[in-house]
A and B are shown apart, each in its own frame.
Chain A
Amino acid sequence: MNETAVLERLRTALPTGALITQPAAMRPYEADGLTALREMPWAVALPGTEDEVRAALRICRTEGVPLVPRGAGTGLSGGARPVRGGLVLGLSKLNRILEVDVHNCVARVQPGVRNLAISEAVAEHGLYYAPDPSSQLACSIGGNVAENSGGVHCLKYGLTVHNVLGLKVETIEGRTLELGGKGFDYPGYDLLALLCGSEGMLGVVTEVTVRLLPQPPEKVVLLAAFRSLEAAAGAVARMIGEGVIPAGLEMMDALAVQATEDFAQAGYPRDAAAILLCELDGDADEVRTLQAYARRLFEEAGAYQIQQADDAEERERLWRGRKAAFPAMGRIAADYYCMDGTIPRTALVEVLNGVSALSKRFGLAVANVFHAGDGNLHPLILYDASQAGQLESAEALGGEILKLCVKAGGTVTGEHGVGAEKLNQMCVQFGPDELAQFERVKEAFDPKRLLNPGKAIPTLSRCAEVGGMHVHGGELPFPKMERF
């Protein structure tokens, strides 16, 4: 391609200042929240309208330029890392709330609208948007769709896919797809569900219709401290098994509790082997019933201390520690690497013990702060990138942890996505036929493979190379394929 001519076409199609090509100005786009993976983009386009998005896509298609859609850049798996020689399509300027439809309990928003801004805009009507990833202050709804983001409250209220009713999507082929609407379950293939979590590989979202829920009138947060991980995990299994679904159910281990207390002074018991934070919500009668039940359950499971927060200030105190857990890690270690595997809840103890053994083997500390209610682990591997070999050790340890998750019947990513980070682990989770099926789905939307190439789905040759490929009955799949 004639680079100058393509840039000129883009410049003509976009308003002044919406095409960035100076390396210094492009530096913020080199990486997303996974800063270890960097690549300088060829150019950055910041369209402000749907028409400009369509124009940029058309130019990329006709000129064969790969492009990486980008939301707020808070993703943790390198999904928005640029590709060499490719365009970054930043959607942050598409940031308008188009409609708040109180009667239908929906909001129609552009993809660059921040997650929390939706709830703020509808709060006066007693409504809110439920998924609350920890980055909700900054992350955009378009990015949430791309990653199918969860959050602390998704145990009860579901993931992004459960809370999005409609999408407008531009395909690289120049089609506009209008999926879903203001109601539920529009007939036909569920493309909306397919687009959620597709990591910008299938299309560019230009409009999102989100479902709004009534704010629960009552909330109670309980903190239960345990002398062993087993006891805390047992309480989680029993609570879910007996049919109590809290709004959120979080666990922190001893290292996480201590680091957090030093940092945020939330009043957590420093001598606990594990604590559970449990938020119950609903109307007043419901919360009263659930709260009495949960207290009794925690006591029976061996909790030696229970704190209860009824008012907003106390609730804020108990959550403050959990929310400060990541920055607290930044104080006790030079760097940390956040993992994201999901396992069956009943395998919690087995996997946490496995993580602890791996931590000793690799000589790197691991703190655990995670969504226990839905089995979504976030082991934080503490390391120092300035020490030779530690980054590599941290990555290797992370890979081993994810293998442990798959072995326990889980997955290599619960909510952060595969991105550029977990391609090798995908080879552990899927066999060649599944990977080939993913490829054909990609081809149905993007036959030239221009959208976010090289992310989310590993190639078969990559899997053969890393040695993670499934081998059935001693027979190598695709025996004639070259391996190098």
Chain B
Amino acid sequence: MSELKEFRIGDFPVLAEQRYERRPLSRGYNMRTLKVDVGSRGVEEKPVPEDMKKRFVGGKGFGLKLLWDGTKPSTQWSDPENEIVIAMGPVCGNTNYPGSGKSLVVSLSPMTGIPIDSNVGGYFGPYLKFAGFDALELTGKADRETIVLVDGNEGVVRVLGVPEGLEYDTHLLAEQLTRSLALSPDPADLQAVAVVSAGRGADHSPMGLLNFSLYDKRRGGIRVKQAGRGGIGTVLRDKRIRAVVARYRGVEQDSNGAADPAAVQRIGLKLHREIVKNDDRQCKMRKQGTAHLMEVMNDYDLLPTKNHKYGQDPKGPEIASWVWEKLLTQGKPDGCWFGCTLACAHAVDQFELQTGPYKGQKVCVDGPEYETAAGCGPNLYVYDTHGILEINFYCDTYGIDTISFGTMCSFLMECWELGVLNAERTDGIDLSWGNWQGAAQVLHDMADGKRFGVLAGKGVKYLAEHFAKEYGADAQLMRDIALHGKGLEQSEYISKESLAQQGGYYLTNKGPQHDEAWLIFMDMVNNRIPSFEQKAEALHYFPMFRTWFGLQGLCKLPWNDIEPADNARHPEPNKVPEHVQNYRELYTAITGEGLSPEELILQSERVYNFQRLFNVRQGHGRRAEDRPPYRAMGPVLPDEYLAREERYDKQLREKQGLDPAAMSLEEKLGATRRYRLAQYESLIDAVFKRRGWTADGCPTPEHLREIGMDLPEVLAVAEARIAGKI
């Protein structure tokens, strides 16, 4: 890395400052949140009422509640009153149970116009919590570049100006801020600083992300984890916030104020031991991270290839897990919070960049995780690990979501193949399949806010309409192959052959994202949920169960990327019942409150329905918005059908009673399409019914009362939608 300009704390002009009373956490809660208006430079402490704790629990629940209160039905993402809320949850910050350091970030999304939520590691959330707050609301728009600093040891919040020469791109900015704002160069003081930042790409594209840093003592530098989805980095930069920094030294086993610290130790140690014993025989997360999935997905025809057109390619083994294992630095405890022995946050060190402004420099690349390796790899027909890593690095440092970027770029490449795009329209960038340098150039242009990158960075929803309107592309074809829901690009599994997974992606509150439900194996491979009712039950249980991680400040991965050795013997192995029991015990050990399996789901259900009604309040949340583009449901193009002709012909015979031999290819495509579209509508009916929603996807007042989300303002939104008033 080149020499970075060094700053001292005094180089950052103090624009506003407010001291607060420090007090210890009790049972996982501070019962207080912090609001910073960067426009007025006002700093406000807000108490958490008991009713808010009861109904919204924490984390994403608190985030959505505060965002609802801080915005109006008419609020657009770029309005000053839009907020970024970073909230943690009661379990967050314990150092014993793996995966307990997550922050949940919510905002009105530049991509969808509705609330987005993103789950991210790094030290910021726990430090903010130990500093004394259960959530941080950032609102307003600054009149100059601004930094917000929360110092948990001193008990002060400062709004700072930005000195000349402070970097924008995260790998430099977060390093600079960590070194400048640490109390000393002692590694323990460097580790006490956590930075949230975006990058230049987030200035110019709605798919901007937030990087959450952690100082890695062994590498002697910062690492970053991403709140990737939905453009929250773009909101940060729109507010002219360069970074948000938390400083806290003194993390201890009981910093979270658990009701029963010994029980937290016991439950955590049990999982540590399970991981140490089983991980090598199961997912190898400690060596490969989520990249362990690569060849599995390729083998099962699920690895997105050429814009999700195919799920498999003979080149798959070139980017298999064993290839990544050799590239990822081994033998380091790569957790994104203390005490995570699953340690999946791996990195490639001393990686020499071949393109862009940092060409020739050696950097640390955080990742790749599965979604990045798949979306920026085979989905672009890139099987060159260097290319994937280069895109991974630049997306992170520019503050661009790798999932949206991968899905957007694969759409561009397919448009290139179809002749919709050419060198004239891309400002000379060759977007042939596999040309990672072309993809990287799009990314550099996005960061610079110039040339083709400005258009490309708008995302596939916009691009599909634009290409139809401006370039005369077939509008239906563009809609079919632009993989997004509600404006958010789909994440990276092939959902075509699993109706349940189509629902898992698109019957979601925020758009097609992999954190609500992953039902492909249950549905397609193991055929455990054949009926609509069974699929609907799965699309109730799993999104609700997985929402719970977001209420608590937990990571999903230690739930089922490690399993007890005897898990398969349980009648419902997909739920990993022993781990569900761990979570209930952990919640009780920290909060002191009992939690039945039913109440666990209810906690999520309240917040899930609240989020749905938040969408409704913003003028969305309708059935029509929950429909996938057809590429996510079935074969769009003739060659796509022919590549799996045997499978599709068999389905025509067995599911529709048709004779494919007597049909033209066009007829077969049409019949398949009609059948699958109808199946999806039946799925929506079953799922909405199970969730207690109307046929148009609005939670009913009766259901809201039943689950305890019957706040007057929430009921009013449901009643207004059902009455046709919004």
* Same assembly: no
| Residues in chain A within 8 A of chain B (CB atoms) | none
